[in-house]
Amino acid sequence: MPAFTGRITDLRARGPILQASIAVAAAAEKALTDAGQPVPAPVQVTALIDTGATGSAISKGTAQQLGLQPVGVIPVSTPSSAKVPMSLFAIRFLLPNSLIFETTAIEAQLQGQGIDALIGRDVLSQAVLVYIGYANEFTLAI
């Protein structure tokens, strides 16, 4: 079972953050390869595992950087607004220790928060998350 354990100074204040990459989804990579087109390099990000987020999110501009086109639209509720329709993008999260998750993500204003992506319950539904607060440690496994 692939797993990643992170140790964060003051996990309570900072949250379970990790260095990851965001790549085009496997189907898009295959289509590009089959068409003889280059596959965009994964984008390096700082990601926060967010058990309060129904779905995952990537920072504004990441979809454009990867050449992604929307695969759908979803109504999103935020603490400061009513439901807002947002585009969904098919992505792959490439996490440490070969943890790979295919999912969809919205683009959100994450700048100024020290993160570039949110890993939401869409990913966590495929994994095991162990949060050991007193040890400032968390483990994500599949």
Query: Residue by residue, what is the 3-state secondary structure of the chain?
Result: CCEEEEECCCHHHHCCEEEEEEEECHHHHHHHHHCCCCCCCCEEEEEEECCCCCCEEEECCHHHHHCCCCCEEEEEEECCEEEEEEEEEEEEEEEHHHEEEEEEEEEECCCCCCCCEEECHHHHCCCEEEEEHHHCEEEEEC
Domains, the chain, ranges and CATH? Answer: 3-141 (2.40.70.10)
Residue 19 CA to residue 96 CA, distance in Å, equals 8
Q: What is the pLDDT of residue 75?
A: 87
Q: Is the pLDDT of residue 78 over 90?
A: no
Q: pLDDT over 70 for what percent of the chain?
A: 97
- For residue 101, what pLDDT band results from cuts at 50, 70 and 90? very high
- For residue 34, what pLDDT band results from cuts at 50, 70 and 90? very high
**Range 39-67 average pLDDT:** 95
Q: What is the pLDDT of residue 135?
A: 96
Q: What is the pLDDT of residue 55?
A: 94
